[in-house]
């Protein structure tokens, strides 16, 4: 099966997630094409693929605007084919903020006029040593603020790779 993985990653974790998914799919005999939406598409046509995975991360309560643009531009094809939306955020990491994480997905779907066949919330990574004052204040927004001084104080990866593998493997089997 030909699978497109289109992604946006501000600090690199979603790129790691996208490459992890792609490596597993390639090992399972699928043909994977990655597309970082920041780069020019070079004639890429979504209609050439059997399934598409769109992956992005949340910063200040929104997914990347260039991911939204790519998805909106390709909405007709995407709405006709099997698609999986992988939403990476820290709100996905805690039971009391998962509702907020689902809200980010709903807002993205609305803004891009795209109805993914499946969605998955993926807990991201935190790298406090790398953040400037502005980035730290952005993390203090919303329900996540309650976790900033404890769970989010150290560099840490919250991603459950096994759960992600199970979701992706179900998606490609269908």
Ligand X SMILES: Cc1cc2nc3c(=O)[nH]c(=O)nc-3n(C[C@H](O)[C@H](O)[C@H](O)COP(=O)(O)O)c2cc1C
Binding site for ligand X (CB under 6 A): 9-14, 57-61, 88-91, 101, 124-126, 131, 135, 138-139, 141-142, 144
Q: Rounded to the nearest whole angstrom, what is the least distance from the CB of residue 142 to ligand X in the complex?
A: 6
Tokens of 70: 């790519």
Q: Rounded to the nearest whole angstrom, what is the least distance from the CB of residue 127 to ligand X in the complex?
A: 7
Q: Rounded to the nearest whole angstrom, what is the least distance from the CB of residue 123 to ligand X in the complex?
A: 8
Q: Residue with the closest Cβ to ligand X?
A: 124
SS3 133: helix
- Give the C-alpha separation, 93 to 89, whole Å: 7
Phi, psi of 144 (to 5 degrees): -65, -25
Q: Rounded to the nearest whole angstrom, what is the least distance from the CB of residue 129 to ligand X in the complex?
A: 12
C-beta of 14 vs 119, nearer to ligand X: 14
- Go through the chain and tell me how many residues it has: 174
* Cβ–Cβ < 8 Å for 94, 158: no
Q: Rounded to the nearest whole angstrom, what is the least distance from the CB of residue 43 to ligand X in the complex?
A: 26
C-beta of 10 vs 117, nearer to ligand X: 10
C-beta of 81 vs 131, nearer to ligand X: 131
From residue 174, alpha-carbon distances to 50, 125, 169 in Å are 12, 30, 9
Tokens of 150: 């404890």
Phi, psi of 171 (to 5 degrees): -65, -40
C-beta of 81 vs 157, nearer to ligand X: 157
């Amino acid at each position: 099966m030909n699978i497109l993985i289109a992604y946006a990653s501000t600090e690199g974790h979603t790129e790691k997630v996208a490459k992890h998914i792609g490596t597993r799919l390639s090992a399972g005999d699928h043909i994977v094409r990655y597309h970082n939406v920041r780069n020019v598409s070079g004639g890429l046509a979504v209609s050439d693929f059997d399934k598409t995975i769109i992956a992005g991360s949340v910063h200040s309560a929104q997914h990347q605007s260039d991911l939204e643009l790519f998805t909106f531009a390709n909405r007709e094809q995407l709405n006709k084919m099997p698609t999986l939306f992988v939403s990476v955020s820290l709100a996905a990491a805690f039971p009391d903020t998962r509702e907020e994480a689902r809200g980010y997905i709903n807002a993205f779907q609305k803004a891009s006029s795209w109805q993914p066949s499946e969605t998955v919330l993926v807990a991201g990574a935190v790298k406090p040593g790398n953040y400037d004052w502005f980035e730290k204040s952005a993390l203090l927004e919303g329900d996540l603020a309650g976790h900033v001084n404890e769970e989010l104080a150290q560099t840490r990866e919250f991603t459950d790779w096994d759960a992600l593998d199970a979701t992706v493997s179900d998606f490609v089997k269908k």
